[in-house]
Structure formats: structure tokens, C-alpha cells
Amino acid sequence: MASTVVHVDETLKECDPDNFLNFPPFYTLQPVETTRKNQLQIWRNVIVKYVHLKNLKGISLNEFQLFENHQIGRKLDSEARTAIAQNLIDSGHGEWNDINHNSMTITWRTAGDWGQVMYQHANELELVDTVYTLYELHSGDISRGTEFHGLDASTCFKALESLAHSGKVQIFAGAETLDETGFKFIRK
């Protein structure tokens, strides 16, 4: 008799150390509000970590591999997938990519968190009070070697907006494209 070898994705082990993805009730949206809230938080944490470790930019709600576990014969229904997606959005980790709400961008850090990382970097390198473009921030020399180098323009812009609300960045209007948007870090 041949034995079946199951290859466990090491990323899954790291994202789900408590093994919730192998717990059948985890795939059913829980009816008790406090339990559901905890369930959605666990899903969010697992997804955010998984997307980060796999270097994914987003997910398709209909095709995301974590939403189905063939080994235990369980999968999330569309209501649960939508609830998880909404939780990701509400926490600042997700954003819809389409009007039909089939796919979404996931960021492992919220815009506010990215903003703080960028602001700290700007202060360390004395980048304050100088005008830069958004393109320079995510793909230029000023970000080379940082964890936000290569981050998409939309997420970078949201990070700058979060800093603008606290007076740490001035954003200049009038650019034709997002990448051409000018801004400067302000020392606080």
C-alpha cells in the first residue's frame, strides 16, 4: 500500500501557529458576536501575515487558497468571505480592487503604519523640508533599501495622507498622475 505524503506549506505554519485553518468550525461564520469578532480577527491576522510572507499584493475572494481546506473538507461560504474582506478593510489592511468586490489589495501594514515608517526614515536621512514626488518615495533613491521601496503608489499616497492629517507632510495638489504628486516631510 502506497503512503500519501502531505507537504505542509511552511508559510501556513508560520501564519497559523495555533492551527486554526484545520479547525472545521473556523470555516463557518460564528453566530455569537464576540466569537465572530475573534474569528474575524484571527482570519485577518492569518491573511495579512500570509500575504506578506508570500509577497502577494492581494487576493481574489473566489480563489484564495486559505478559504478552502481540502484536508478537512471545509470552505468558507460567500457571506463569510465578504465578512472577512470587510474586516480587512475596516482595519485598514484591505481595499477593493473592483466594483463587484471580487478581489482586493491587502497590505500587511496599514496606511498609518506605513506613514510612520516613512516619516522615521525621512528624519533619519534628513529628508525633511525638501520636495519629492511620490514616485521618488516608492521607487527612487530615497527609498532604496527600505521596506517600502517598491510599494504601490496608492498605498504610499494613503500613507502620506495619514501623515498630512498629523501635520508631518505637506502634499502639493495639481499633479497629472499619482506618481507625479509632490510632497515634503515636515519636522515635528
* Cα separation, 32 vs 93, whole angstroms: 24
22-43 pLDDT tens trace: 999 999 999 999 999 999 999 9
- The CA angle 94-53-125, to the nearest 5 degrees, is 80
pLDDT higher than 90, residue 129: yes
The pLDDT score that the predictor gives to residue 6 is: 35
Residue with cell 475596516: 90
Longest Cα–Cα distance in the chain = 71
Q: Provide the grid cell at 3.
A: 503512503
* Cα separation, 104 vs 57, whole angstroms: 9
45-68 pLDDT tens trace: 999 999 999 888 889 999 999 999
Phi-psi domain of 108 (left: phi exceeds 0; alpha: psi -120 through 50; beta: other): alpha
Residue with cell 508559510: 11
170-179 pLDDT tens trace: 999 877 899 9
H or E element that contains 52: helix 33-53
The pLDDT score that the predictor gives to residue 9 is: 67
The pLDDT score that the predictor gives to residue 64 is: 94
Mention every residue, 6+ apart, whose C-beta is less than 8 A from residue 188: 166, 167, 168
**Do 143 and 121 meet the contact criterion of CB atoms below 8 Å apart?**
yes
**120: phi then psi, degrees, rounded to nearest 5:** -60, -45
Q: Provide the grid cell at 62.
A: 473566489
Mention every residue, 6+ apart, whose C-beta is less than 8 A from residue 175: 133, 134, 181, 182
The pLDDT score that the predictor gives to residue 5 is: 34
74-122 pLDDT tens trace: 999 999 999 999 999 999 999 999 999 999 999 889 999 999 999 999 9
